[in-house]
Chain A
Protein backbone atom coordinates (compact mmCIF):
# COMPACT_ATOMS: atom_id res chain seq x y z
CA UNK A 1 0.00 0.00 0.00
CA UNK A 2 1.35 3.38 -0.96
CA UNK A 3 1.36 5.76 2.01
CA UNK A 4 -0.27 9.18 2.11
CA UNK A 5 1.75 12.32 1.62
CA UNK A 6 1.72 14.70 4.59
CA UNK A 7 3.90 17.22 6.38
CA UNK A 8 4.71 14.53 8.94
CA UNK A 9 5.77 12.05 6.24
CA UNK A 10 7.96 14.76 4.70
CA UNK A 11 9.60 15.49 8.05
CA UNK A 12 10.16 11.81 8.75
CA UNK A 13 11.83 11.29 5.36
CA UNK A 14 13.92 14.43 5.87
CA UNK A 15 15.22 13.19 9.22
CA UNK A 16 15.75 9.52 8.39
CA UNK A 17 16.68 9.81 4.72
CA UNK A 18 14.42 6.85 3.95
CA UNK A 19 13.69 6.63 0.22
CA UNK A 20 10.24 7.51 -1.10
CA UNK A 21 8.15 4.67 -2.46
CA UNK A 22 7.28 4.76 -6.13
CA UNK A 23 4.04 6.65 -6.64
CA UNK A 24 2.22 3.91 -8.55
CA UNK A 25 2.76 0.23 -9.28
CA UNK A 26 3.93 -1.17 -12.62
CA UNK A 27 1.58 -4.16 -13.02
CA UNK A 28 1.42 -6.62 -15.87
CA UNK A 29 -1.90 -6.55 -17.72
CA UNK A 30 -4.62 -8.91 -16.42
CA UNK A 31 -6.60 -10.98 -18.96
CA UNK A 32 -9.77 -8.86 -18.58
CA UNK A 33 -10.98 -5.62 -17.02
CA UNK A 34 -14.37 -4.03 -16.46
CA UNK A 35 -13.14 -0.90 -18.21
CA UNK A 36 -10.06 -0.19 -20.33
CA UNK A 37 -9.07 3.43 -20.89
CA UNK A 38 -6.72 3.87 -23.84
CA UNK A 39 -4.37 6.78 -23.23
CA UNK A 40 -2.41 7.62 -20.07
CA UNK A 41 -2.69 11.37 -20.35
CA UNK A 42 -4.55 13.70 -18.03
CA UNK A 43 -8.00 12.87 -19.41
CA UNK A 44 -7.49 9.08 -19.42
CA UNK A 45 -6.06 9.01 -15.90
CA UNK A 46 -8.81 11.30 -14.59
CA UNK A 47 -11.43 9.03 -16.16
CA UNK A 48 -9.90 5.97 -14.48
CA UNK A 49 -9.70 7.79 -11.15
CA UNK A 50 -13.36 8.91 -11.18
CA UNK A 51 -14.52 5.47 -12.34
CA UNK A 52 -12.96 4.07 -9.18
CA UNK A 53 -13.66 6.98 -6.81
CA UNK A 54 -17.20 7.99 -7.88
CA UNK A 55 -18.63 4.77 -9.28
CA UNK A 56 -16.78 1.99 -7.45
CA UNK A 57 -15.54 0.48 -10.71
CA UNK A 58 -12.01 -0.52 -9.71
CA UNK A 59 -11.14 -3.24 -12.18
CA UNK A 60 -9.86 -0.64 -14.59
CA UNK A 61 -6.73 -0.45 -16.75
CA UNK A 62 -5.15 2.63 -18.30
CA UNK A 63 -3.06 1.65 -21.35
CA UNK A 64 -0.34 4.08 -22.36
CA UNK A 65 1.74 3.66 -25.50
CA UNK A 66 4.73 5.63 -24.23
CA UNK A 67 5.35 6.79 -20.70
CA UNK A 68 2.72 8.31 -18.49
CA UNK A 69 1.90 11.94 -19.25
CA UNK A 70 4.20 12.11 -22.28
CA UNK A 71 1.59 13.74 -24.50
CA UNK A 72 -0.41 16.92 -24.32
CA UNK A 73 -0.87 16.96 -20.54
CA UNK A 74 2.79 17.97 -20.35
CA UNK A 75 2.83 20.16 -23.47
CA UNK A 76 0.15 22.78 -22.80
CA UNK A 77 0.55 26.25 -21.27
CA UNK A 78 -1.06 25.10 -17.96
CA UNK A 79 -4.01 27.53 -17.97
CA UNK A 80 -7.33 26.83 -16.26
CA UNK A 81 -10.40 29.09 -16.54
CA UNK A 82 -14.16 28.91 -17.04
CA UNK A 83 -14.97 32.01 -19.09
CA UNK A 84 -17.13 30.30 -21.72
CA UNK A 85 -20.39 31.72 -23.01
CA UNK A 86 -22.42 29.04 -24.80
CA UNK A 87 -24.92 27.23 -22.62
CA UNK A 88 -23.44 23.79 -22.04
CA UNK A 89 -19.83 24.90 -22.17
CA UNK A 90 -20.35 27.50 -19.43
CA UNK A 91 -21.51 24.88 -16.95
CA UNK A 92 -19.07 22.19 -18.10
CA UNK A 93 -15.95 24.34 -17.73
CA UNK A 94 -17.18 25.79 -14.42
CA UNK A 95 -17.59 22.25 -13.12
CA UNK A 96 -14.00 21.66 -14.20
CA UNK A 97 -12.73 24.78 -12.42
CA UNK A 98 -14.55 23.77 -9.24
CA UNK A 99 -12.86 20.36 -9.42
CA UNK A 100 -9.49 22.06 -9.94
CA UNK A 101 -10.11 24.07 -6.77
CA UNK A 102 -10.34 20.93 -4.64
CA UNK A 103 -8.01 18.70 -6.60
CA UNK A 104 -4.86 18.80 -4.46
CA UNK A 105 -6.81 17.61 -1.43
CA UNK A 106 -8.89 15.13 -3.40
CA UNK A 107 -5.79 13.48 -4.85
CA UNK A 108 -3.46 13.99 -1.85
CA UNK A 109 -1.06 15.45 -4.40
CA UNK A 110 -0.12 19.11 -4.78
CA UNK A 111 -1.09 20.19 -8.29
CA UNK A 112 -0.03 23.75 -7.42
CA UNK A 113 -3.20 25.53 -8.52
CA UNK A 114 -2.46 29.25 -8.64
CA UNK A 115 -5.64 31.32 -9.03
CA UNK A 116 -3.87 34.43 -10.23
CA UNK A 117 -6.72 35.56 -12.44
CA UNK A 118 -7.00 35.75 -16.21
CA UNK A 119 -7.53 39.00 -18.12
CA UNK A 120 -8.82 39.01 -21.70
CA UNK A 121 -8.13 42.36 -23.34
CA UNK A 122 -10.45 44.39 -25.56
CA UNK A 123 -8.87 46.60 -28.21
CA UNK A 124 -12.03 48.36 -29.36
CA UNK A 125 -15.45 49.36 -28.00
CA UNK A 126 -17.30 46.56 -29.79
CA UNK A 127 -14.88 43.98 -28.41
CA UNK A 128 -15.48 45.36 -24.92
CA UNK A 129 -19.25 45.00 -25.51
CA UNK A 130 -18.71 41.34 -26.44
CA UNK A 131 -16.69 40.79 -23.27
CA UNK A 132 -19.39 42.52 -21.18
CA UNK A 133 -21.97 40.16 -22.63
CA UNK A 134 -19.78 37.16 -21.92
CA UNK A 135 -19.18 38.40 -18.36
CA UNK A 136 -22.93 38.79 -17.84
CA UNK A 137 -23.56 35.24 -19.05
CA UNK A 138 -20.91 33.97 -16.66
CA UNK A 139 -22.32 35.92 -13.69
CA UNK A 140 -25.85 34.69 -14.44
CA UNK A 141 -24.40 31.19 -14.14
CA UNK A 142 -22.79 32.01 -10.79
CA UNK A 143 -19.26 32.34 -12.21
CA UNK A 144 -17.05 35.26 -11.21
CA UNK A 145 -16.36 37.88 -13.89
CA UNK A 146 -15.36 41.53 -13.67
CA UNK A 147 -15.37 44.03 -16.50
CA UNK A 148 -12.26 46.21 -16.44
CA UNK A 149 -11.97 49.74 -17.79
CA UNK A 150 -8.83 50.99 -19.46
CA UNK A 151 -7.74 52.64 -16.20
CA UNK A 152 -8.19 49.36 -14.29
CA UNK A 153 -6.02 47.53 -16.83
CA UNK A 154 -3.40 50.31 -16.68
CA UNK A 155 -3.22 49.91 -12.90
CA UNK A 156 -2.98 46.11 -13.01
CA UNK A 157 -0.77 45.77 -16.10
CA UNK A 158 1.23 49.03 -16.35
CA UNK A 159 3.75 47.50 -18.76
CA UNK A 160 1.28 47.17 -21.65
CA UNK A 161 1.38 49.67 -24.47
CA UNK A 162 -0.88 52.56 -23.35
CA UNK A 163 0.80 55.12 -25.61
CA UNK A 164 -1.33 57.12 -28.09
CA UNK A 165 0.56 55.41 -30.91
CA UNK A 166 -0.29 51.85 -29.76
CA UNK A 167 -1.15 49.63 -32.72
CA UNK A 168 -3.76 47.83 -30.59
CA UNK A 169 -5.14 50.42 -28.12
CA UNK A 170 -6.52 48.99 -24.88
CA UNK A 171 -10.16 49.76 -24.12
CA UNK A 172 -10.57 47.40 -21.17
CA UNK A 173 -10.85 43.74 -20.43
CA UNK A 174 -12.64 40.90 -18.71
CA UNK A 175 -11.14 39.45 -15.54
CA UNK A 176 -11.89 36.07 -14.04
CA UNK A 177 -10.10 36.05 -10.68
CA UNK A 178 -10.56 32.30 -10.09
CA UNK A 179 -8.75 31.43 -13.32
CA UNK A 180 -5.05 30.66 -13.20
CA UNK A 181 -2.44 27.99 -13.74
CA UNK A 182 -1.77 24.44 -12.57
CA UNK A 183 1.45 22.45 -12.61
CA UNK A 184 0.50 20.15 -15.47
CA UNK A 185 2.88 17.22 -14.81
CA UNK A 186 1.55 16.99 -11.26
CA UNK A 187 -1.95 16.52 -12.68
CA UNK A 188 -0.90 13.38 -14.54
CA UNK A 189 1.12 12.06 -11.60
CA UNK A 190 -1.52 12.97 -9.03
CA UNK A 191 -4.37 11.27 -10.89
CA UNK A 192 -2.14 8.25 -11.62
CA UNK A 193 -1.16 7.83 -7.97
CA UNK A 194 -4.70 8.34 -6.68
CA UNK A 195 -6.16 5.94 -9.26
CA UNK A 196 -3.49 3.36 -8.47
CA UNK A 197 -4.33 3.57 -4.76
CA UNK A 198 -7.91 2.65 -5.66
CA UNK A 199 -6.77 -0.43 -7.59
CA UNK A 200 -6.51 0.89 -11.15
CA UNK A 201 -3.75 -0.78 -13.21
CA UNK A 202 -1.64 1.77 -15.07
CA UNK A 203 0.19 -0.05 -17.84
CA UNK A 204 2.86 1.91 -19.67
CA UNK A 205 4.72 0.89 -22.85
CA UNK A 206 1.53 -0.82 -24.02
CA UNK A 207 0.30 0.27 -27.44
CA UNK A 208 -3.15 -0.66 -28.66
CA UNK A 209 -2.88 -2.27 -32.11
CA UNK A 210 -6.46 -3.38 -32.67
CA UNK A 211 -9.90 -3.95 -31.18
CA UNK A 212 -11.65 -7.21 -30.33
CA UNK A 213 -15.18 -7.27 -31.73
CA UNK A 214 -18.31 -9.29 -31.40
CA UNK A 215 -20.54 -7.92 -34.16
CA UNK A 216 -20.97 -4.21 -33.45
CA UNK A 217 -19.73 -4.63 -29.90
CA UNK A 218 -16.16 -3.92 -28.73
CA UNK A 219 -15.00 -6.58 -26.29
CA UNK A 220 -11.37 -5.64 -25.70
CA UNK A 221 -8.12 -4.66 -27.32
CA UNK A 222 -5.06 -6.17 -28.98
CA UNK A 223 -1.89 -4.61 -27.61
CA UNK A 224 1.87 -4.91 -27.85
CA UNK A 225 1.60 -6.69 -24.47
CA UNK A 226 -1.03 -9.16 -25.58
CA UNK A 227 -4.79 -9.41 -25.83
CA UNK A 228 -6.86 -7.79 -23.06
CA UNK A 229 -10.62 -8.21 -22.69
CA UNK A 230 -12.84 -5.38 -21.48
CA UNK A 231 -16.49 -4.86 -20.60
CA UNK A 232 -16.22 -1.30 -21.87
CA UNK A 233 -13.43 0.55 -23.63
CA UNK A 234 -12.77 4.29 -23.82
CA UNK A 235 -10.47 6.06 -26.28
CA UNK A 236 -8.78 9.14 -24.80
CA UNK A 237 -5.73 9.73 -26.98
CA UNK A 238 -6.07 13.30 -28.26
CA UNK A 239 -3.68 13.96 -31.11
CA UNK A 240 -3.98 10.39 -32.34
CA UNK A 241 -7.76 10.02 -31.97
CA UNK A 242 -8.24 9.38 -35.70
CA UNK A 243 -5.59 6.66 -35.71
CA UNK A 244 -6.97 4.69 -32.75
CA UNK A 245 -10.59 5.14 -33.90
CA UNK A 246 -9.57 3.86 -37.35
CA UNK A 247 -8.53 0.58 -35.70
CA UNK A 248 -12.21 0.19 -34.81
CA UNK A 249 -13.28 1.20 -38.32
CA UNK A 250 -14.49 4.69 -37.32
CA UNK A 251 -13.81 7.79 -39.41
CA UNK A 252 -14.04 11.05 -37.46
CA UNK A 253 -14.52 14.79 -38.05
CA UNK A 254 -10.96 15.35 -36.82
CA UNK A 255 -7.68 16.56 -38.29
CA UNK A 256 -4.43 16.38 -36.30
CA UNK A 257 -2.62 19.71 -36.11
CA UNK A 258 0.44 20.94 -34.31
CA UNK A 259 0.38 23.67 -31.66
CA UNK A 260 3.59 25.23 -30.41
CA UNK A 261 4.29 26.64 -26.96
CA UNK A 262 7.20 28.71 -25.74
CA UNK A 263 9.05 29.64 -22.56
CA UNK A 264 11.48 32.51 -22.19
CA UNK A 265 14.54 32.80 -20.00
CA UNK A 266 13.56 33.42 -16.36
CA UNK A 267 13.13 37.00 -15.19
CA UNK A 268 11.96 38.62 -11.94
CA UNK A 269 8.20 38.43 -11.28
CA UNK A 270 6.34 41.09 -13.24
CA UNK A 271 3.33 39.43 -14.87
CA UNK A 272 0.94 38.60 -12.03
CA UNK A 273 -1.96 37.30 -14.15
CA UNK A 274 -2.71 35.12 -17.11
CA UNK A 275 -3.10 37.53 -19.99
CA UNK A 276 -4.90 37.01 -23.30
CA UNK A 277 -4.39 39.32 -26.26
CA UNK A 278 -7.61 40.51 -27.91
CA UNK A 279 -6.16 41.24 -31.33
CA UNK A 280 -4.85 37.73 -32.03
CA UNK A 281 -4.96 34.30 -30.45
CA UNK A 282 -2.13 34.77 -27.94
CA UNK A 283 -1.88 34.02 -24.21
CA UNK A 284 0.93 34.53 -21.74
CA UNK A 285 1.69 33.92 -18.08
CA UNK A 286 4.79 33.80 -15.90
CA UNK A 287 5.86 30.51 -14.36
CA UNK A 288 7.02 30.09 -10.78
CA UNK A 289 10.57 29.81 -12.11
CA UNK A 290 10.19 33.22 -13.79
CA UNK A 291 9.97 32.17 -17.43
CA UNK A 292 7.25 33.69 -19.57
CA UNK A 293 5.07 30.86 -20.91
CA UNK A 294 3.09 31.67 -24.04
CA UNK A 295 1.48 30.30 -27.16
CA UNK A 296 -0.57 31.22 -30.22
CA UNK A 297 -2.22 29.57 -33.20
CA UNK A 298 -1.68 26.15 -34.76
CA UNK A 299 0.89 25.83 -37.56
CA UNK A 300 -1.86 25.47 -40.15
CA UNK A 301 -1.60 22.07 -41.83
CA UNK A 302 -2.28 18.59 -40.50
CA UNK A 303 0.79 16.84 -39.14
CA UNK A 304 1.89 14.38 -36.44
CA UNK A 305 5.48 15.61 -36.17
CA UNK A 306 5.46 17.38 -32.75
CA UNK A 307 8.02 19.74 -34.33
CA UNK A 308 6.98 23.29 -35.11
CA UNK A 309 7.81 25.46 -38.09
CA UNK A 310 9.89 28.60 -37.56
CA UNK A 311 7.35 30.91 -39.25
CA UNK A 312 4.99 30.41 -36.31
CA UNK A 313 7.77 31.18 -33.82
CA UNK A 314 8.09 34.53 -35.53
CA UNK A 315 4.37 35.41 -35.57
CA UNK A 316 3.93 34.38 -31.92
CA UNK A 317 6.96 36.50 -30.95
CA UNK A 318 5.40 39.41 -32.86
CA UNK A 319 2.21 39.02 -30.81
CA UNK A 320 4.26 38.96 -27.58
CA UNK A 321 6.05 42.18 -28.41
CA UNK A 322 2.88 43.93 -29.70
CA UNK A 323 1.26 43.17 -26.37
CA UNK A 324 4.23 43.77 -24.01
CA UNK A 325 6.86 45.89 -25.78
CA UNK A 326 9.32 45.67 -22.88
CA UNK A 327 9.99 41.95 -23.45
CA UNK A 328 11.42 42.47 -26.93
CA UNK A 329 14.98 41.63 -25.78
CA UNK A 330 14.04 38.44 -23.94
CA UNK A 331 15.49 35.22 -25.28
CA UNK A 332 13.48 32.06 -25.80
CA UNK A 333 14.64 29.25 -23.59
CA UNK A 334 12.62 26.43 -25.14
CA UNK A 335 9.80 25.82 -27.54
CA UNK A 336 7.97 22.61 -28.20
CA UNK A 337 4.84 21.29 -29.89
CA UNK A 338 1.92 19.02 -29.20
CA UNK A 339 -0.45 17.30 -31.61
CA UNK A 340 -4.06 18.25 -31.11
CA UNK A 341 -7.32 17.13 -32.66
CA UNK A 342 -8.97 19.96 -34.58
CA UNK A 343 -12.73 19.69 -35.15
CA UNK A 344 -14.98 21.67 -37.51
CA UNK A 345 -16.66 23.71 -34.74
CA UNK A 346 -13.74 23.88 -32.32
CA UNK A 347 -15.55 21.76 -29.72
CA UNK A 348 -14.63 18.27 -28.51
CA UNK A 349 -16.44 14.92 -28.53
CA UNK A 350 -17.19 13.01 -25.33
CA UNK A 351 -19.56 10.11 -25.17
CA UNK A 352 -20.74 6.98 -26.87
CA UNK A 353 -19.82 5.90 -30.42
CA UNK A 354 -21.73 3.94 -33.09
CA UNK A 355 -20.05 0.81 -31.64
CA UNK A 356 -21.46 -0.67 -28.46
CA UNK A 357 -19.29 -0.48 -25.35
CA UNK A 358 -16.84 1.85 -27.09
CA UNK A 359 -16.58 5.41 -25.75
CA UNK A 360 -14.70 8.32 -27.25
CA UNK A 361 -13.11 11.41 -25.79
CA UNK A 362 -11.21 13.63 -28.22
CA UNK A 363 -11.31 16.59 -30.55
CA UNK A 364 -10.14 19.01 -27.87
CA UNK A 365 -8.59 21.63 -30.13
CA UNK A 366 -6.88 24.23 -27.91
CA UNK A 367 -8.79 23.57 -24.72
CA UNK A 368 -8.13 20.08 -23.40
CA UNK A 369 -6.01 20.77 -20.34
CA UNK A 370 -8.43 22.97 -18.39
CA UNK A 371 -11.15 20.39 -19.05
CA UNK A 372 -9.17 17.49 -17.56
CA UNK A 373 -11.10 16.98 -14.28
CA UNK A 374 -14.57 17.55 -15.75
CA UNK A 375 -13.85 15.29 -18.73
CA UNK A 376 -12.75 12.50 -16.43
CA UNK A 377 -15.77 13.10 -14.19
CA UNK A 378 -18.30 13.13 -17.05
CA UNK A 379 -16.74 10.32 -19.11
CA UNK A 380 -16.59 8.07 -16.03
CA UNK A 381 -20.28 8.80 -15.39
CA UNK A 382 -21.11 8.09 -19.04
CA UNK A 383 -19.27 4.76 -18.97
CA UNK A 384 -20.73 3.71 -15.62
CA UNK A 385 -24.33 4.60 -16.53
CA UNK A 386 -24.12 3.90 -20.30
CA UNK A 387 -25.70 7.27 -20.92
CA UNK A 388 -24.20 10.73 -21.38
CA UNK A 389 -23.66 12.91 -18.33
CA UNK A 390 -25.93 16.01 -18.59
CA UNK A 391 -22.90 18.33 -18.81
CA UNK A 392 -21.63 16.78 -22.06
CA UNK A 393 -24.84 16.26 -24.03
CA UNK A 394 -23.86 19.12 -26.37
CA UNK A 395 -20.58 17.35 -27.23
CA UNK A 396 -21.91 14.24 -28.99
CA UNK A 397 -19.97 12.73 -31.89
CA UNK A 398 -22.94 12.80 -34.30
CA UNK A 399 -23.77 16.50 -33.90
CA UNK A 400 -22.64 17.48 -37.43
CA UNK A 401 -24.83 14.79 -38.94
CA UNK A 402 -27.73 16.37 -37.03
CA UNK A 403 -26.74 19.90 -38.22
CA UNK A 404 -26.06 20.77 -34.62
CA UNK A 405 -22.43 21.98 -34.51
CA UNK A 406 -21.44 23.66 -31.26
CA UNK A 407 -19.79 26.94 -32.17
CA UNK A 408 -18.54 28.51 -28.93
CA UNK A 409 -16.96 31.51 -30.61
CA UNK A 410 -19.93 32.35 -32.83
CA UNK A 411 -17.76 32.60 -35.92
CA UNK A 412 -18.83 29.59 -37.93
CA UNK A 413 -17.24 26.27 -38.77
CA UNK A 414 -13.69 25.64 -39.98
CA UNK A 415 -12.24 28.81 -38.47
CA UNK A 416 -8.99 27.01 -37.85
CA UNK A 417 -8.50 26.68 -41.59
CA UNK A 418 -8.86 30.38 -42.31
Chain B
Protein backbone atom coordinates (compact mmCIF):
# COMPACT_ATOMS: atom_id res chain seq x y z
CA UNK B 1 0.00 0.00 0.00
CA UNK B 2 1.45 3.39 -1.03
CA UNK B 3 0.11 6.44 0.75
CA UNK B 4 0.05 9.85 -1.00
CA UNK B 5 1.68 12.28 1.43
CA UNK B 6 0.77 15.91 0.59
CA UNK B 7 4.37 16.94 1.41
CA UNK B 8 6.49 14.03 0.18
CA UNK B 9 4.45 12.34 -2.55
CA UNK B 10 3.59 8.66 -2.73
CA UNK B 11 5.42 6.57 -0.11
CA UNK B 12 5.18 3.01 1.21
CA UNK B 13 2.78 2.71 4.14
CA UNK B 14 5.57 1.32 6.36
CA UNK B 15 6.97 4.89 6.56
CA UNK B 16 3.78 5.90 8.36
CA UNK B 17 2.21 5.31 11.73
CA UNK B 18 -1.51 4.61 11.78
CA UNK B 19 -3.63 6.94 13.91
CA UNK B 20 -7.19 5.60 13.62
CA UNK B 21 -10.58 7.03 12.74
CA UNK B 22 -10.31 10.75 11.91
CA UNK B 23 -14.04 11.41 12.04
CA UNK B 24 -14.32 11.07 15.81
CA UNK B 25 -14.88 14.34 17.62
CA UNK B 26 -13.26 14.67 21.02
CA UNK B 27 -15.66 15.76 23.81
CA UNK B 28 -15.06 19.28 25.06
CA UNK B 29 -12.39 19.81 27.72
CA UNK B 30 -13.89 19.66 31.17
CA UNK B 31 -16.83 17.60 29.99
CA UNK B 32 -17.74 15.39 32.90
CA UNK B 33 -20.21 13.24 31.01
CA UNK B 34 -18.58 9.81 31.32
CA UNK B 35 -20.87 8.19 28.76
CA UNK B 36 -19.68 10.62 26.08
CA UNK B 37 -16.06 9.90 26.98
CA UNK B 38 -16.72 6.15 26.96
CA UNK B 39 -18.20 6.40 23.48
CA UNK B 40 -15.33 8.55 22.26
CA UNK B 41 -12.55 6.37 23.66
CA UNK B 42 -13.93 2.87 23.25
CA UNK B 43 -16.55 2.66 20.49
CA UNK B 44 -15.86 2.49 16.76
CA UNK B 45 -17.98 2.65 13.63
CA UNK B 46 -15.46 0.20 12.11
CA UNK B 47 -17.03 0.55 8.63
CA UNK B 48 -16.51 -1.85 5.73
CA UNK B 49 -16.03 0.69 2.97
CA UNK B 50 -15.14 4.38 3.03
CA UNK B 51 -12.95 5.32 6.02
CA UNK B 52 -11.30 8.63 6.83
CA UNK B 53 -8.26 8.12 9.04
CA UNK B 54 -5.12 9.65 10.53
CA UNK B 55 -1.60 8.64 9.54
CA UNK B 56 1.67 10.23 10.67
CA UNK B 57 4.58 10.25 8.23
CA UNK B 58 7.05 9.27 10.96
CA UNK B 59 9.88 8.37 8.60
CA UNK B 60 9.34 11.36 6.33
CA UNK B 61 8.06 14.87 7.04
CA UNK B 62 6.54 13.77 10.40
CA UNK B 63 3.27 15.53 9.53
CA UNK B 64 -0.09 14.07 10.53
CA UNK B 65 -2.36 13.60 7.58
CA UNK B 66 -5.92 12.55 6.91
CA UNK B 67 -6.35 9.82 4.30
CA UNK B 68 -9.40 8.38 2.57
CA UNK B 69 -9.23 4.60 2.31
CA UNK B 70 -11.76 1.90 1.45
CA UNK B 71 -11.43 -0.73 4.18
CA UNK B 72 -13.01 -3.38 1.95
CA UNK B 73 -10.35 -3.07 -0.77
CA UNK B 74 -7.56 -0.85 0.66
CA UNK B 75 -8.09 1.48 -2.32
CA UNK B 76 -6.73 4.88 -1.33
CA UNK B 77 -8.37 8.23 -2.09
CA UNK B 78 -7.39 11.79 -1.31
CA UNK B 79 -5.15 12.91 1.52
CA UNK B 80 -4.50 16.26 3.16
CA UNK B 81 -2.60 17.59 6.14
CA UNK B 82 -4.47 17.18 9.40
CA UNK B 83 -3.58 20.74 10.45
CA UNK B 84 -5.31 22.07 7.32
CA UNK B 85 -8.46 20.33 8.33
CA UNK B 86 -8.10 21.60 11.90
CA UNK B 87 -7.65 25.15 10.57
CA UNK B 88 -10.72 24.76 8.34
CA UNK B 89 -12.80 23.49 11.25
CA UNK B 90 -11.57 26.37 13.44
CA UNK B 91 -12.59 28.92 10.78
CA UNK B 92 -16.13 27.44 10.68
CA UNK B 93 -16.60 27.97 14.40
Residues of A within 8 A of B (CB): 240, 242-243, 246, 251-256, 300-305, 307, 309, 311, 344, 400-401, 417
Measured between beta carbons, the chain A residues less than 8 angstroms from B71 are: 256, 302-305
On whether the beta carbons of A300 and B44 are closer than 8 Å, the reply is: no
Provide the bound-state CA to CA distance between A246 and B43, in Å.
12
Query: Which secondary structure characterizes the binding site on chain A?
Result: loop
Please give me the residue from chain B that is nearest to A250 by CB atom: B43
C-beta contact mask, B25-51 vs A, less than 8 Å → 1, else 0?
A: 000000000010011011111101001
- 18 contacts across the A-B interface (CB closer than 8 A): A242-B46, A243-B46, A251-B39, A251-B45, A252-B43, A253-B42, A254-B46, A255-B44, A256-B48, A300-B18, A302-B51, A303-B71, A304-B72, A305-B72, A344-B42, A400-B42, A401-B42, A417-B18
Provide the bound-state CA to CA distance between A251 and B46, in Å.
9
With A307-B74, A309-B1 as contacts: A251 and B43 at CB distance below 8 Å: yes
Chain B residues bordering chain A, tally (CB within 8 A)? 22
Measured between beta carbons, the chain A residues less than 8 angstroms from B74 are: 303, 305, 307
On whether the beta carbons of B13 and A309 are closer than 8 Å, the reply is: yes
Q: Which among B1, B18, B43 is the interface contact of A253 at CB below 8 angstroms? A: B43
With A304-B72, A401-B38 as contacts: A243 and B18 at CB distance below 8 Å: no
On whether the beta carbons of A242 and B44 are closer than 8 Å, the reply is: yes
Q: Which among A253, A301, A400 is the interface contact of B44 at CB below 8 angstroms? A: A253
Provide the bound-state CA to CA distance between A316 and B49, in Å.
28
Measured between beta carbons, the chain A residues less than 8 angstroms from B45 are: 242, 246, 251
Q: Which among B35, B38, B39, B46 is the interface contact of A255 at CB below 8 angstroms? A: B46
- Give chain A nearest CB distance to B84 CB in angstroms: 22
Measured between beta carbons, the chain B residues less than 8 angstroms from A246 are: 45
With A243-B48, A417-B20 as contacts: A301 and B53 at CB distance below 8 Å: yes
Provide the bound-state CA to CA distance between A417 and B20, in Å.
9
Provide the bound-state CA to CA distance between A184 and B44, in Å.
30
The verdict on B73 contacting chain A, using a C-beta distance below 8 Å, is: yes
- Give chain B nearest CB distance to A254 CB in angstroms: 6
Measured between beta carbons, the chain B residues less than 8 angstroms from A303 are: 71, 74
Q: Which among B38, B44, B53 is the interface contact of A252 at CB below 8 angstroms? A: B44
On whether the beta carbons of B44 and A251 are closer than 8 Å, the reply is: yes
Residues of B within 8 A of A (CB): 1, 12-14, 18, 20, 35, 38-39, 41-46, 48, 51, 53, 71-74
A-B contact count (CB 8 A): 57
On whether the beta carbons of B46 and A311 are closer than 8 Å, the reply is: no
- Give chain A nearest CB distance to B6 CB in angstroms: 19
Measured between beta carbons, the chain A residues less than 8 angstroms from B1 are: 309
Closest 6 CB pairs of A and B: A242-B46, A253-B42, A301-B18, A311-B14, A400-B42, A251-B43
- Give chain A nearest CB distance to B35 CB in angstroms: 8
Provide the bound-state CA to CA distance between A310 and B41, in Å.
31
Measured between beta carbons, the chain A residues less than 8 angstroms from B38 are: 400-401
Provide the bound-state CA to CA distance between A205 and B53, in Å.
33
Measured between beta carbons, the chain B residues less than 8 angstroms from A400 are: 38, 41-42
Measured between beta carbons, the chain A residues less than 8 angstroms from B13 are: 301, 309, 311
Provide the bound-state CA to CA distance between A82 and B33, in Å.
40
On whether the beta carbons of B48 and A254 are closer than 8 Å, the reply is: no
Provide the bound-state CA to CA distance between A368 and B38, in Å.
26
Measured between beta carbons, the chain B residues less than 8 angstroms from A256 are: 46, 48, 71
On whether the beta carbons of A252 and B46 are closer than 8 Å, the reply is: yes
Please give me the residue from chain B that is nearest to A251 by CB atom: B43
With A302-B71, A304-B71 as contacts: A240 and B48 at CB distance below 8 Å: yes
Please give me the residue from chain B that is nearest to A311 by CB atom: B14
Measured between beta carbons, the chain B residues less than 8 angstroms from A242 are: 44-46
Measured between beta carbons, the chain B residues less than 8 angstroms from A305 are: 71-74
- Give chain B nearest CB distance to A315 CB in angstroms: 9
Please give me the residue from chain B that is nearest to A245 by CB atom: B46
Provide the bound-state CA to CA distance between A254 and B21, in Å.
12
Please give me the residue from chain A that is nearest to B18 by CB atom: A301
- Give chain B nearest CB distance to A348 CB in angstroms: 15
Measured between beta carbons, the chain B residues less than 8 angstroms from A251 are: 39, 43-45
Measured between beta carbons, the chain B residues less than 8 angstroms from A243 are: 46, 48
Provide the bound-state CA to CA distance between A309 and B74, in Å.
10
Provide the bound-state CA to CA distance between A311 and B53, in Å.
20
Measured between beta carbons, the chain A residues less than 8 angstroms from B18 are: 300-301, 417
Measured between beta carbons, the chain B residues less than 8 angstroms from A300 are: 18
Measured between beta carbons, the chain B residues less than 8 angstroms from A309 are: 1, 13
Provide the bound-state CA to CA distance between A251 and B44, in Å.
7
Measured between beta carbons, the chain B residues less than 8 angstroms from A311 are: 12-14
